[in-house]
Every structure is written in C-alpha cells, then in structure tokens.
Chain A
C-alpha cells in the first residue's frame, strides 16, 4: 500500500531522489572514513613516534568532516522538499477524489474519517517519507560500508561481527515484534478511555438525571485499568531494549579487545587497526538498531497509506454522461418514474416504485413517518445519489443523461440540517449567486423571515458566521439557508424539512412570503407537520419507501389511512 502510494507520488521527483541517494552515499562514506584515519594516526604516527603523520592525517580528517556536513545539509534540504511535496500532492489527490464523490461515497466513509485521512494520515505518510529519504538510504549503506571497512582493517576478526550483528538484530527484533501488537492495543485502550469520558461529559445531564454516577464510575474504572495495564506492558518491553543493546555493544567491544590481542600478539594485526575495527563494529551495530526501529515506523505508515488508498481507489457512483443532453430552459417538471433506490448491500430498498410528478407552479409535499425515505427521495433530484431502478426526469430529460452542473444550476436545495460556511452572512447568501447585489440579499432575507435578526446582528450582513453555523440558532440557520436558495432563483426548490425549527407563526408567514416568489417554480416540500403542507397542491404520502397516497389534503383524508393517522396524531399535540 505504502509503496504503491509513494511510487505514484514520488515519480515527479525522480531526479531529486537520485541526487539524494548519491549525496547520502557520499555522506556515509565520509563518516566511515574517519575511524580509518584515526587508526592510521596510531599506526603511522604514534606507534612509530612520528608527529608528522599525526598532523597530516588530522588535517585530512578535518577536510572529510567538512565535506560530510556540507553533503548532509544539502541532502536534508532535498529530502525536506521532496517529502513536503509528496504530502502536498497526496492531499491534493484526496481532495480531488472526494470532490467527485457522490453523497453515497461520502456517506459510506463519513465526513470525519475522510477529514482525518486527508490530514492526519497524510502527515504520517509525509513524516515516514522524510525519514525514509534520510535514514532508510543512509542506514543500509552504513551497515554494508561498516562491514566492508571493518573487514579491510582485519579479516581475522570478521567472525565476531558475524556473531554480534545477528545477535543484536535478533534480540531487538524479538522485543519489537512483541511490542507492535501491544501498541495498537494501547491505541484502542486510549480511544476507549477517551470515548467514555466524552460520553460522560456530553451526556452529563442524562447521567445526573438518572443518577448513574456510580455506574459510570465503574465503567470508567474498567477502561482506565485496561489502558494502564497495556501501557505498563508496553513500557516494560521498552525498558528491556536499551539495557540489552548496551550490553551487546559493550560485550562486543570486550570481545574485540580480547581476540584482537591474540592477533596482535601473533603479529597479524596493528593496534590502530584494532581501534578502527572496534569503531566499525559499533557503527554496524548502531545501524542495525536504527534499522529495527525504523521497521516499527513502517506498519503505522502502512495503515495510513492503506486508508488513503482506500479513498483514492473508490470510484464515484454518480458520473458525468459522455454526451450530456440539454434540459429545456424555463420552468421544468420533476418526474419520478418507478423509482427504486437501495443502498449497496442493503436487503430492503429505501424507495420502491415511487412515481409522481411535481409540476411547475405547484407545490408538491412529501410526508411520511421517520425513515420512510423522504430525504433520500429529495437527494435523488440534484443527483446526490443515482437511482438503482426507474428514472428521475427533469423537464423530460433523464437526470443521468444531463450534465451534473446543468442539473445543479436549476436546483435550490435547503437540506434538513443546514450547513453554513465560515465567512460573513453575505458570503453565505452569495453561495446561491456570487453576483447578487446587497438589495437582492436583503430581499431574500425578508422573504425568508430572516431580515430582522440579521439586522440585529452587530455587523448586519457582514457579521461573521462560525464554522458550521454555530453562532446562530437552529431556526436562524434554516432561514439563512432558505434565503441562500432564494438568492439563486432556481427553477426547482427542494425544502427538506426546512420549516421544522420555526414556530407556527413564522412558518405561516414564511410560506405566505414564498408563494409569489415561487409561483413559476416547481416546489417540493418535505415536512413532518401537516399544517405546513395542508395547502399544497399535491401531497405524496410515503410509508416504508412506497407511495401510499397522492392527492390534495381533502382527498387523502378521505381515502388514505396512513395520512389519517398522521393527521390525527398531530391534532392531539396541536390542541395542547
């Protein structure tokens, strides 16, 4: 997964990466050369009582060090650029892919996880890319180079290396292997603890009202205990690593001294070589350590890459047609013809054989109990979903054959939970039409019964709206959303339960104000309240995804049992 993702996104930077590799090679070789020079200082200088070589070799060492740092800085620069570019590109790819998603794909993942995949997961991949470009290249070179240089110093001791290196790799590897599953367990435990706390805080009233403090405390204690247990287990494993590694390092040093002494005694080795060999052995051991630690970073990045690829590999179910058909201009009718819709993998369809026509100049109301498929029905019209059976036609053209933006241009959607964007009130209203003048905005607000509270706001139209619309009440948000759609002057209005947060009087005034504005347009209203739709030209009654009645209020009262029940249950509440 990670490889696939990186291969794709590193391709434009092939050149940089190649240069990087060369630089890393140079840097590592420079680092590796220093112990040899030190060894020669001893063998050619100290052991022979000559000071000249000492100074000469020292100067070379200095030069090599300078070279090494220069090369490393350039390499780091390149690595940073590359990894940051990869991060930017992947973020862009994810953004673009989600942009073509239909509501189905977004709903399948859920906005929160899409957000996290495009932020946290990308950062994870970016970090690992940087580490990879700097370390993952340097470390193997260090390992191989260290072994070669050590062997150059003395082949006779090479068996020591053959023992020490695998031993270290084995020990560290075993510990890490035990730790990795514990890490993910720990992550889950943290999630559990935090989730319990989150529930307790957001549901504090419920907990208190039902006197569940003891119960909650016990629930929390369980989560807390499990987390602590896992953390301790991980910590204990971690505690083992450093002492074991140091022990192996030190034991290797001692072994080299002992066996090296024999070889020196036999005249097969020089002292300086011995010191150099020791230094190289430590080099190799250190790089093995780093390699194993790097190996722990990979699984995490794999997971992140997997999540990103999942998004990138998902195709949208709603596609642009190859040759879009024009929808006729002017007022258009919206027709549902034997429409069936079910979510993929669902046993029962959400909508089944729904047929009706919403005509221009008329108000068509959709009513039904919760879960009867009303919102899904409305979402089919702007092609947020595509039907799985039958067809939806606008102006006689099947939506799937019309261009997406052509459909969107004709529709004004006021969703159930209206979402406002960061910016000013005016910015939000201009979503409907960026060219709208201030007078247009005020007019829309007046119709939507929102002019009063906007005027009362500190800066009127320019007042800031917090993300998601958190600084206005639910009813105000709805009215702003209605105004936003009004500014657009669409041919089709889709009100998805848009009057629910308003009290009866405002509801009535709003509908009255809407009438003249929408008299040419096709208005589709989804509602729960009978009083809202009582005067609609056509009421479509939905139950369990099927149409059980179509007609005006009086007719339905006469012959539709579901409608009668709905009216009755609401009448009781109304009187009170």
Chain B
C-alpha cells in the first residue's frame, strides 16, 4: 500500500518544493507553493496543445460557457422588470386608496403630487412603467416575465451541466493519454537516464507532477474561463443599467485587486515558512521513527524530543500565520462587497426616488455587484495554481523529450538447430549461489527468451558461458546485449521485486552471488 510510504519520489518532490496543498485549504490556489516554470509561455502552449485531439469538444465547452454566462447575466436584468411591475402595482393600488381617480394619466398624478410638495415621489411616479392608477399588480405581465426568466435560467443550467460534463471527459482523456505516453517513454529510455538522477526524481515526475497537471488543468479550465467571462458580463450589465453607479461600483475593482495582492503575497511568505518547517518536522519524525531502536538503545530520547519540540513549535508559529493571513482574504473580500452593497443601496435608493432609475434596476444592480467580487478572487488565486501546473507540465515534458536508446532489432532470431549461445561477460559477474538443500537447475528445454535467460545465467564459468538451446527457439534480442542487460540486473544490488510478481521476477536474485564485488 502506498499509504504514507515516505518513498523516494515523495522525498524528491518534498525536497524540491514542499508538500502540496490540501483539498479545501482556505484561499484555494494560494496554498500551492510558488513553483515557477522556467519557460511559462512555451510550456503552457504545449500543455494546451495536448488538448488538440479534443479540440471540437474544447470549442464546444468555450462556447457553452460563454452562452451560460450571458444567460445568467441577463437573468437579473429581466427580473428587474418583474420587480418594477410589482412596484408599479403597489403604487397603483395605494394611489387609488388615497383617492386618486382610477385611470388618471401619470403626468397628472405627478403634477398633483408636486403641488402637494411631494417632489421626490412625483419624479418617481412620472417615469414608472406599468403604472395604472386603480389597477394593482399586472399579474398577466408579471407571469410572462417570470416564465421567460425561468426559461432562461433553465436553459442556462442545462448548458452549464453539459459543458461541465464535457470538460470532465476532455481533461481526463487528455491526462490518460499523457500518462500512457510517459509510461511508454520509460521503456525506451536508456538505463543511464535512471541512474543519473535520484530514483525519487523520476518517480516524482511521473506520479506527483502528472497528478498536479491534472488538478490544475481541471480547475483552471472550468473556473478560469467562467470567472473571467462572468466578471466581464457583470461589468457590461452594470454599465447598461447605470453608468454612474457602475463607475462607483467599479472603484472596488482596484481596491479588491490591491487587497488580494497585498494579503496574497503576505500569505505566500507565510506558506513558504510553513513548508520549510513542515519539511523539518517531517525529517525529524522520519529519522526518529526509522532509527527508533538506535535512539532508545543509545539513550538519546531526550535530545530527540528537544529537537522535535523546537521544530514543532516553529511549525506551530508558521502554520498559525499562514492560516490566519489566508483566512483573512475571504472576510475582507466580503467586507468590500458589503461596502459596495451599502453604497449602491443608498445611491440607488436616491436615484429611484429621483426617478433616474427604477427600483428593479437597482435591485438587479445590487445582484450584479454582489456576484462580481467572488469571480475576481477566484481569478487571483488561480494564478498560483496555473504557475504550479505549468511547472509540473514542464517537468513531465522533460521526461518525454529525453533522448532514447537505440532501438534493438525487432525481428526475432530463430535458431534452426540445437545451437550454443556464447557471450562474453565482464569479471563482475559472479557465480550463482545454489540455495541450500534444494535441487536447482536450468530449464531443460529453453524456448522463450525468458527461459534462455535462465539457462544462460545458470551456466557460468569464468568469463564466457555457454548454454544449449533447443531447435526452433525464438530469441527476441541479440544475445550479447541481452546478456549485458542480464549482467546489469545482477550487479545492481538493490534489485527491486515487484510485489505482484514476486516469484517470477525474483528469479534474477537467485543468479547473483551473495558475495559482492571486489571494490572496497
């Protein structure tokens, strides 16, 4: 089980950039460590290029997102009419109750009000739509508007759903292909490639980095587009409703951006500290638990506790800082949003009273401005996520671009009569150790390459070896290079054993002597 195995690739990833953010950490993309790609533009383009086989679906997704955003933006605007109808109906009834004869034209009512000194009311009534003294709410018109809006929202939801589903499929298929290509590539890389770097490094690229790319791709594609388009749509609608109010509301954009920027960079610093101290604690814990026996038997528990306590406390300070600063962002954005609410409620109210805007329009405006700050924050926090994703993609591409070893002749060599295969091996190759007590010998009739391998490895004396092979046996590779590979399998002392195939693959160990090489 890979749970918790502080394995090589995790060490490599950890040493490079610290543990990854957790699901649901406050501030979302802010929790991701600042990992910069060496060549952002190029790698990002290449990453997007991976989507090419699915470009029809991607275009569909983009279009669908745009349509859904537009529909959702238009909704409140149309809903404003509904509010206005109700408001007008309210006044129609009230005026009639106040003694104004039903059917009086609006202008007359307004004049009457002005004469009574109610200037504000007069201005408002003069421009009201749907106003008919004596008639209450025009339910017919209201029903029409509401049904229309319902229809719009229904379609918008449907489209959103379809778009999200498509995106899921596209992203997952792309990552599937990427994984497959990388695994394929592994089989064509020359062995020195694996020796040249820490094992954990390769592992990390092939597991952690691909996971990171998948996560970034999914989140960015689904949210970024949506958020950007939503912000644009909201701004447009606000201007349509009232340029003046829109300008006032838009002051909040720079304010929000500045706030997110300032707090965000502070939070990043804190997160960096947190990663650093997490790494320290992890290292101490790992050493203490792995060397558990030695610490006890050598009586070093007190020291070990001391160094743990120090690192633990440092982590506590850093963790608190990171959580606090990043936790502030949401409330602050909410405050800015609330300020907006207050300003617009007051200004809007004043404008309705003076007849420059309708009540419905103000309500719609409020809704737009409330829906406006959240996508902004999302876009801001997404920057980090994108950086990290592209950086990971770069590392994966490096694996895909690594030079391959020369291909071996693919055509099998068929031996037509009982031939002897001989090859030269270096002096490092030791004799096989016979497990005590159990009879053991080469497969009697080697036919497949695997069996030939067993036969060849078993019969060693000195620097050349021979093995009889039966007629018609198919050996898929030239034997010399095969023997060289077999040799390297033995000289690597740390040959790993596949857990699932313990028996069959462990056979390589049987052929390698317990005695080590003479290098000392």
Contacts and interface: CB of A to CB of B under 8 A. Distances in A.
Interface of A: 31, 34, 37-38, 41-42, 45-51, 54-55, 57-58, 61-62, 65, 68-69, 72-73, 76-77, 79-81, 83-85, 87-88, 91-92, 95-96, 98-99, 101, 103, 106, 111-120, 123-124, 126-127, 130-131, 134, 190-191, 193-195, 197-213, 216-217, 220-221, 224-225, 228, 231-232, 235-236, 238-240, 242-244, 246-247, 250-251, 253-254, 257-258, 260-262, 264-265, 267, 271, 274-275, 297, 300, 369, 379, 382, 384, 404-405, 408-409, 411, 413, 415, 419, 421-422, 431-432, 467-468, 475, 484, 488, 501-503, 506, 565-566, 569, 573, 576
A267 B93 contact: yes
A384 B291 CA distance: 12
B252 to A, nearest CB: 13
B505 A210 contact: yes
Interface in B156-199: 156-158, 160-161, 164-165, 167-169, 171-173, 175-176, 179-180, 183-184, 186-187, 191, 194, 199
B79 A432 contact: no
A411 B172 CA distance: 58
Interface in B205-263: 206-207, 211, 214, 218
Contacts of A260: 86
Interface string B494-520: 011111000001001000011110101
B477 A211 contact: yes
Contacts of B22: 123-124, 127
A193 B203 CA distance: 12
B290 A46 contact: no
Interface in B310-364: 312-313, 315-317, 319-321, 323-324, 327-328, 331-332, 334-335, 338-339, 341-343, 345-346, 349-350, 352-353, 359, 363
B289 A254 contact: no
Given A205-B489, A209-B508, A432-B298, 17 more contacts: A65-B341, A69-B331, A79-B327, A99-B304, A106-B293, A119-B278, A191-B3, A198-B9, A198-B203, A202-B203, A235-B164, A247-B157, A254-B150, A271-B90, A384-B293, A419-B291, A467-B283
B286 interface: yes
B119 to A, nearest CB: 8
B320 A265 contact: no
Contacts of A225: 176
Contacts of A117: 4
A201 B199 contact: yes
B504 to A, nearest CB: 8
B485 A205 contact: yes
Interface in B463-490: 476-477, 482, 485-486, 488-489
B455 interface: no
A329 B237 CA distance: 90
B153 A246 contact: yes
A251 B156 CA distance: 12
Contacts of A221: 180
B306 to A, nearest CB: 12
A128 to B, nearest CB: 9
A224 B323 contact: no
Quick one: which of A77, A235, A488, A576 has the most chain B CB within 10 A? A235
A87 B316 contact: yes
Given A239-B165, A246-B153, A65 B3 contact: no
B338 A413 contact: no
A355 B433 CA distance: 33
Contacts of A201: 186, 194, 199, 202-203, 206
A271 B359 contact: yes
Tell me the dominant secondary structure on chain B's binding face.
Answer: helix
B480 to A, nearest CB: 13
- 4 closest A-B pairs by beta carbon, nearest first, are A116-B4, A235-B168, A239-B164, A49-B121
A92 B320 contact: no
B385 interface: no
Contact of A84 (B83, B320, B332): B320
A247 B327 contact: no
A107 B352 CA distance: 75
Contact of A228 (B137, B175, B199, B434): B175
A65 B492 contact: no
29 contacts: A45-B349, A47-B90, A54-B346, A58-B346, A65-B339, A69-B331, A72-B331, A72-B334, A80-B320, A112-B4, A127-B22, A134-B327, A202-B8, A204-B191, A205-B489, A236-B168, A239-B165, A242-B164, A243-B160, A247-B154, A250-B149, A257-B79, A257-B86, A264-B86, A271-B87, A271-B359, A274-B86, A384-B296, A573-B514
B327 A130 contact: yes
A515 to B, nearest CB: 22
Contact of B173 (A199, A228, A422): A228
Contacts of B164: 235, 238-240, 242-243
A49 B323 contact: no
Contacts of B489: 205-206, 208-209
Contact of B353 (A49, A106, A195, A569): A49
A475 B438 CA distance: 30
A65 B342 contact: yes
> Which of B289, B297, B315 has most A Cβ within 10 Å?
B297
B210 to A, nearest CB: 9
B5 interface: yes
Contacts of B349: 41-42, 45-46, 54, 58
B25 interface: yes
Given A49-B118, A228-B173, A254-B146, A95 B288 contact: yes
Contacts of A131: 24, 26
Nearest to B198: A470
B292 interface: yes
Contacts of B89: 261, 264-265
A467 B286 contact: yes
B101 to A, nearest CB: 20
A415 B180 contact: no
Contact of B153 (A68, A247, A484): A247
Contacts of A47: 90
A140 B25 CA distance: 21
A134 to B, nearest CB: 7
A92 B515 CA distance: 45
Nearest to A48: B121
Contacts of B413: none
Interface string B47-67: 000000000000000000000
A127 B308 CA distance: 21
A444 to B, nearest CB: 14
B124 interface: yes
Given A216-B187, A419-B291, A83 B296 contact: no
Contacts of A566: 436
B449 interface: yes
A267 B137 CA distance: 11
Contacts of A200: 183, 186
Interface in B265-291: 278, 281-283, 285-291
A464 to B, nearest CB: 14
Contact of B350 (A54, A62, A193, A297): A54
B377 interface: no
Contacts of B139: 261
B301 interface: yes
Contacts of A204: 186, 191, 194
B278 A65 contact: no
Contact of B3 (A98, A116, A220): A116
A83 B26 CA distance: 13
Contacts of A409: 299
B140 to A, nearest CB: 12
Contacts of A68: 335, 338
Given A228-B176, A384-B297, A422-B283, A115 B142 contact: no
Given A271-B87, A415-B293, A116 B6 contact: yes
A112 to B, nearest CB: 5
B136 interface: yes
